[in-house]
Structure 1
Amino acid sequence: MKHRHTATKRSILKFGLLSLFCASTAIVAPAAQADWKPDQYITYIVPFAPGGLTDVAARMVAKGVGDKTGWNIVVNNKAGANGNLGPAEAARAKPDGNTWLAITMTHAVNKTLFGQKAGYDIEKDFVPVAKIASSAIMVVVPQNSPIKTLQDLIDTAKKKTLNVGSSGTGTPPHIAAALFQELTKTKMTHVPYKGGAPSMVDLIGGQIDVVFSNYPESLSYVQQGKLRALAITSEKRAAAVPDVPTTAEAGLPRLMVDNFTGLMAPKGTDPALVKEISDKVTAVVGEKAMGEQLIKLGFIPDPMGPDQFKTYLHDQIEKLAKTIKDADIKVN
């Protein structure tokens, strides 16, 4: 009887430990499950105005992922403060997977340009989820300009001071122009505009000499013959303008600027949940139909997972910090 009693106690103890293990496993399992659902809806913060490239790409991703998963993803535009208003708000959100943040090259620039004044740290306050796509910079001049090639631009800029327009201080076009000047040892007068559209209007009208433009903003004008493209900062020529050489082909291989767009989540978000969201996003971006839509916008689909995107983002921040410091770019 004594042995039977002892065996019974051991069985009860073993069953209790097994139950405890299963219970503890169940506590941590949900975040890694493929059937995770947001509490009500996911807020996808876009720190730029509606209708811009980042906004359009984010809405495409939101719809694509939503259609595949059933998640209710709502894009919320929080424009202002050179793209810093949206991230500052997203950094305060709960790390529960219900808040996403769209970022671009602008935010890699802002880490150096604004520092603590930005109200957040893009690397410390967020975790990378996925890179979505890239977009090049196209060097454009008026159609009637005597400048025909990138080498002509270099030669002319060494002889006289040219006016170079941009969509604002610290924007990708401004950074690209600064990098050009650093590489060629030239000096231009920077003319910042409130957006890319007005800079295109003044360039066509001859009020400024050159713009290192966001590719999608100048593409239609090049195709219409209103602007002349000298080069594009991409590894390969763009299919829409196959006669435009890359900056490497034009003699400036180091003039490479990648105006990317990606997705971040607040710091502390469960890594398993980050991976799940990333898998869904990159799968949609990798689909042929989505890729074709992004290409029409002027993007090159370039899906990356969390680890790869983290390395890429850090490298971009370091590279852009050097350009900003070398060119002594400051914001008022």
Structure 2
Amino acid sequence: MTRSITRRQALAAGAAAIAAPAAFAQAAAFPGKPIRLVVPYPPGGSSDIIARMVSNLLSDALKQPVLVDNRAGANGNLGADQVAKSAPDGYNLLLCDVGALAISPSVYGKLPFDPSKELRGVTMLAYSPHLLVVHPSVPASNLKELVALSKQKELNFAISGTGGANHLAGVALQQATGARWQYVPYKGGSQAIQDTVSGQCQVMMNGMLATLPHVQSGKLKLLGVSKKTRMPLIGDVPTIAEQGVPGYETGTWQGVLAPRGTPEAIVQRLNTELVRAIRNPDVRARLAGQGAEVVTMSPAEQDRFFTQERKRWGEVVAQAGIKID
């Protein structure tokens, strides 16, 4: 049996036939100018550190400058929105904490963009667990003592921004332990670290990549790690799961995203070169020395990860009643 083709279907098929060669030509010529790698946080955080590790290698591979552009604001949403609204041609990319980006739709009532519809995955790059740290003056040496202390005196908990990954990590810990603390939001993880080091805040959970140097220098005291297993790099420090919160695991997932509609050939080229850059032995060794592990994904795998994280943290947000209009 034959089926007649409607005029609309014929027009759509014709448009696709016309667009395909144009997209192929665009991908074949890519890149023909500098690429902007937007980090939606201030310098010094985990995403910024990784962006600067891979940008030169990516530039060498693509034969074009790759410029790291810090666009901080609104807990990373300002820079993410700029990339989401940019031309889908591969020249504007977003390198951020993908988990934090997945949280935003649940927290922000008026988010100016929909990351699920306006951004697509290119690849994940690295994962590092959160470290639960306190200022050295805090009289607690483990999670149980910290929870007890939080019920006796007011503690300030530094976060990189309301609704960020480390904020939700703290909320999940509160829900599991009954701890009490006051969240103090900053414009990025590096500023949150600075105020915890100075003693203006007493508690923080932050990505290991940016936080470990301050633990090693003695400026912060480490109470636990949000990973399934202990990490030899930080000695005999127990996981948070071991300290009475079974299954507790959080962290920062740095990855690269592009505007949806970016030609598949360009996305795949970027995936190939970014994976090669992050797996560079020197980069891998530097990351491992700071507690981060290389984790790469295909574009489709990263999109699935984003969907899973959005569902997971949406439940935490709903239970905590966190909402920003």
Deviation for aligned residue 1:326: 1.2
Contact 1:172–1:214 (Cα < 8 Å) also in 2:
no
Q: Residues 74-133 of structure 1, C-alpha deviation per residue, up to 9 Å, x if partnerless?
A: 222322222122222212222222221122132122121114x22111110011110011
How big is the shift at 1:159? 5.9
Deviations 1:215-252 (A, max 9, x none): 24432332233332111112333343122222223332
Does the 8 Å CA contact 2:148/2:179 hold for their aligned counterparts? no
Partner of 2:302: 309
Tell me what 2:108 maps to.
114
The match for 1:84 is 77
Give distance in 1, aligned partners of 2:165 and 2:202.
Answer: 18
What is the aligned partner in structure 1 of residue 316 from structure 2? Answer: 323
Question: RMSD of aligned C-alpha atoms?
Answer: 2.9
Tell me the amino acid that sits aligned with residue 297 of structure 2. M
Helix, strand or coil at the partner of 2:184: strand
Query: How far apart are the structure 1 equivalents of 2:101 and 2:56?
Result: 24
For residues 25 and 161 of structure 1, the distance between their equivalents in structure 2, rounded to whole angstroms, comes to: 61
Note closer, same or farther for the CA distance 1:73–1:155 as it changes in structure 2 (3 Å cut): same
Rate the CA distance shift 1:58–1:163 in 2: closer, same or farther, 3 A.
Answer: closer
One-letter amino acid of the structure 2 residue matched with residue 127 of structure 1 = R
- Cα distance in structure 2, aligned partners of 1:74 and 1:198: 23
Does structure 1 residue 125 correspond to structure 2 residue 118?
A: yes
- SS in structure 2 of the partner of residue 85 of structure 1: helix
5 Å-filtered alignment, 1:264-283, equals 264-283=257-276
| CA deviations over 1:185-232 (Å, ceiling 9, x no partner) | 343332334544554455456554422233244323322333321111
Q: 1:69 to 1:138 in 2, by over 3 A?
A: same
Q: Secondary structure at the match of 1:260?
A: strand
Q: Secondary structure of 1:264's match? A: strand
Residue 230 of structure 2 corresponds to 237
Task: Name the SS of the counterpart of 2:161 in structure 1.
Answer: coil
2:36 aligned residue: 43
Contact 2:45 2:189 in 1 (8 A): no
CA gap of 1:287–1:168, structure 2 versus 1, over 3 A, is same
In the alignment, the residues of structure 1 paired with residue 108 and residue 55 of structure 2 have an alpha-carbon distance, to the nearest angstrom, of: 29
In the alignment, structure 1 residue 175 sits paired with structure 2 residue 173: no
More divergent stretch after superposition (202-211 vs 52-61): 202-211
For 1:135 and 1:157, locate their aligned partners in 2 and report how far apart those are by CA, in whole Å.
26
**CA distance in structure 2 between the partners assigned to 1:271 and 1:181 by the alignment:** 42
Contact 1:136/1:233 (CA < 8 Å) preserved in 2?
Answer: yes
Counterpart residue number, 1:68: 61
2:184 and 2:69 mapped to 1: Cα distance? Answer: 31
Worse-matched range after superposition: 292-301 or 89-98: 292-301
Does the Cα contact within 8 Å between 1:45 and 1:100 map onto a contact in 2? Answer: yes
Number of residue pairs matched by the alignment: 308
* Equivalent residue, structure 1, for 2:10: none
CA contact (8 A) 2:227 2:249 kept: yes
Matched, 1:138 2:131: yes
| Amino acid in structure 1 at the alignment position of 2:288 | I
Aligned equivalents of 2:124, 2:112: Cα separation in 1? 23
Summarize the Cα distance change of 1:146–1:133 in structure 2 as closer, same or farther, 3 Å threshold. same
Unaligned runs of 5+ in 2: 1-16
Contact 2:84–2:113 (8 Å) recurs in 1:
yes
Secondary structure at 1:135 match in 2: strand
Change (3 A) 1:99 1:207: closer
Aligned to 2:239: 246
- Secondary structure of the equivalent of 1:229? strand
Give the secondary structure class of the aligned counterpart of 2:252.
coil
Matches of 2:262 and 2:159 in 1, distance apart? Answer: 36
Describe the shift of the 1:215–1:280 C-alpha distance in structure 2 as closer, same or farther (beyond 3 A).
same
**1:100 corresponds to 2:93:** yes
TM-score (norm 1): 0.81
The one of 214, 219, 224 aligned to 2:217:
224
Secondary structure at 2:234 match in 1: coil
Unaligned runs of 5+ in 1: 1-22
Q: Deviations over 1:37-87 (max 9, x none)?
A: 313222222222334331231232221122223233222232222212222
Matches of residues 14-25 of structure 1 in structure 2 within 5 Å? none
Deviations 1:157-183 (A, max 9, x none): 456654433233222222111010111
- Aligned identity (percent) is 31
